[in-house]
């Protein structure tokens, strides 16, 4: 049976290219598919493979002191969560484009709050504010009850939304995201901007869902692979067996076309849009599967405005040279 392994670590890597090469060799040998981002600041990796191969991968990784002490998060796979193996070297493991305001989570970051502690906080009546650091389209199908949901198109909007929640600088703030990697930087950035009491959910939303299915996190969890959404875990399942037959489970999404409860994402059929649209089966049938944005296609789900296609100078130079041939 296939499993999904999700993990990250902020750790200085002075040989990103060689780490990428060794990761490709190891992951290919273990027949993984998935996505790996390697940067000088650390790694951010999601892989799908067999339970046995994932266990071997973790053993191999922990031989390197840089990759010890990682919070490994395992959930059920489908066998087709990723189309291929992708390993890239980038400047950041999560793109924030904070420039000179960038933070190193090893130096400044929010206090890690365990899922058990958050569960207790929610029931204690303590005053605190959950700020969801995920993208707006992720919020639509699942989020913590009563949480603040900034309208982020992508993580690069972090600086902008920080201004929107500036009234919370003297309050206790808990940042949450899928697996924790975005909150490491988001919580640290809030601290540098004057927020006094900042926490982050240890292990992310996925860890909370596994311990407390269908309790405080409502709906489904958006994930960046072909599963698209992940449901709460069965309490008796190791590594995340997910289900919705619990009477406590709530569908919080709404169909973009008829507003009925729905948490099923399809992509806009427009080739230059592909925006995620929550679409019920009935509305999909009405369009023969060729759904498009109800109010017209104006921007992608990442917030980029739809417009004319622009080509780089290199491409234009190639066109000119080709015409001379």
In angstroms, the CA 74 to CA 67 distance is 17
3-state secondary structure of 88: strand
Q: Which residues have C-beta within 8 Å of that of residue 136, sequence separation ≥ 6? A: 149, 150, 151, 152, 153
What strands lie across the sheet with 42-50, from one edge to the other? 73-76, 2-10, 42-50, 33-39, 85-89
In angstroms, the CA 315 to CA 325 distance is 16
The strand pair at 42-50 and 73-76 is best described as unpaired
3-state secondary structure of 121: helix
- Catalytic residue, chosen from 101, 177, 255, 293, is 177
Q: Which residues have C-beta within 8 Å of that of residue 85, sequence separation ≥ 6? A: 24, 27, 28, 32, 33, 34
Phi then psi for residue 176, to 5 deg, are: -135, 150
| 177 catalytic per annotation | yes
Task: Identify the CA nearest to 201 among candidates 139, 252, 144.
Answer: 144
Contact by Cβ (8 Å): 57, 47: yes
Q: Which tokens go with 47?
A: 């892989």
Side-chain-facing half-sphere of 223: CA atoms under 13 Å: 27
Q: Which tokens go with 27?
A: 């992951």
In angstroms, the CA 71 to CA 45 distance is 12
Q: Which residues have C-beta within 8 Å of that of residue 181, sequence separation ≥ 6? A: 8, 44, 93, 94, 204
Any idea which residues carry the catalytic annotation? 177
């Amino acid at each position: 049976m296939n499993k999904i392994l999700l993990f990250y670590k902020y750790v200085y890597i002075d040989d990103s290219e060689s780490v990428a090469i060794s990761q490709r060799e190891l992951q290919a040998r273990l027949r993984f598919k998935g996505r790996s981002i390697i940067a000088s600041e650390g790694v951010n990796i999601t892989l799908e493979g067999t339970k046995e191969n994932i266990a071997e991968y973790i053993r191999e990784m922990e031989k390197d002191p840089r990759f010890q002490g990682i919070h490994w998060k395992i959930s059920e796979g489908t066998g087709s969560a990723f189309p291929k193996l992708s390993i890239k070297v980038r400047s950041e493991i999560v793109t924030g484009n904070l420039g000179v305001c960038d933070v190193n989570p090893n130096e400044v970051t929010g206090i890690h709050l365990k899922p058990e502690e958050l569960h207790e906080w929610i029931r204690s009546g303590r005053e605190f504010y959950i700020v969801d650091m995920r993208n707006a389209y992720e919020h639509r199908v699942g989020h913590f009850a009563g949480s603040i949901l900034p309208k982020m198109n992508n993580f690069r909007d972090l600086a902008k939304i920080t201004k929107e929640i500036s009234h919370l600088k003297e309050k206790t703030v808990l940042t949450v995201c899928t697996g924790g990697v975005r909150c490491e930087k988001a919580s640290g950035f809030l601290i540098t901007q004057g927020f006094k009491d900042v926490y982050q959910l240890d292990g992310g939303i996925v860890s909370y869902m596994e311990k407390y299915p269908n309790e405080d996190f409502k709906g489904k969890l958006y994930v960046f692979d072909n599963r698209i959404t992940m449901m709460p875990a069965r309490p008796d399942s190791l590594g995340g067996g997910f289900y919705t037959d619990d009477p406590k489970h709530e569908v919080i999404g709404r169909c973009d076309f008829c507003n009925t409860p729905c948490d099923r994402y399809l992509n806009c059929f427009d080739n230059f849009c592909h925006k995620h649209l929550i679409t019920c089966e009935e509305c999909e049938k009405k369009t023969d599967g060729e759904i498009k944005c109800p109010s017209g296609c104006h921007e992608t789900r990442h917030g980029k405005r739809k417009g004319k296609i622009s080509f780089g100078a290199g491409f234009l130079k190639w066109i000119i040279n080709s015409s001379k041939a």
